[in-house]
Amino acid sequence: MALGLIPEILNSIDMIMLMSNASFYKWRTKFGGMDASMMSEMKSMAEENRRLKRMYAEMSMQNDLLKEALGKKP
């Protein structure tokens, strides 16, 4: 494939996907070198991170409530 056709192909793909060139290139730099297993691992790690953040927020709130109940200032 000639390199001159790449922008033309990207424009047609963008029209179909309704994605700007900037979004496409940002996506490509983030995920371009990954295979399917790496992407699924990254997604599972992101889900675990969300779960841990939620758990930390709940424990922090419980800690603040206990401090308040005991009369300590947070």
CA dist., res. 67 & res. 59, Å (int): 12
41 & 29 share domain? no
The predicted model gives 57-62 an average pLDDT of: 96
69 & 55 share domain? yes
24 & 42 share domain? no
Q: Which residue has the tokens 């200032």?
A: 73
What is the number of structural domains in the chain?
Answer: 2
44 & 29 share domain? no
Residue 29 pLDDT grade (very low, low, confident, very high; cuts 50, 70, 90)? confident
22 & 9 share domain? yes
CA dist., res. 6 & res. 39, Å (int): 25
Residue 24 pLDDT grade (very low, low, confident, very high; cuts 50, 70, 90)? confident
**DSSP characters for 19-60?**
--HHHHHHHHHHHTT--HHHHHHHHHHHHHHHHHHHHHHHHH
| pTM, to two decimals | 0.52
> What domain range includes position 45?
37-74
Residue 17 pLDDT grade (very low, low, confident, very high; cuts 50, 70, 90)? low
Mean pLDDT of the chain: 80
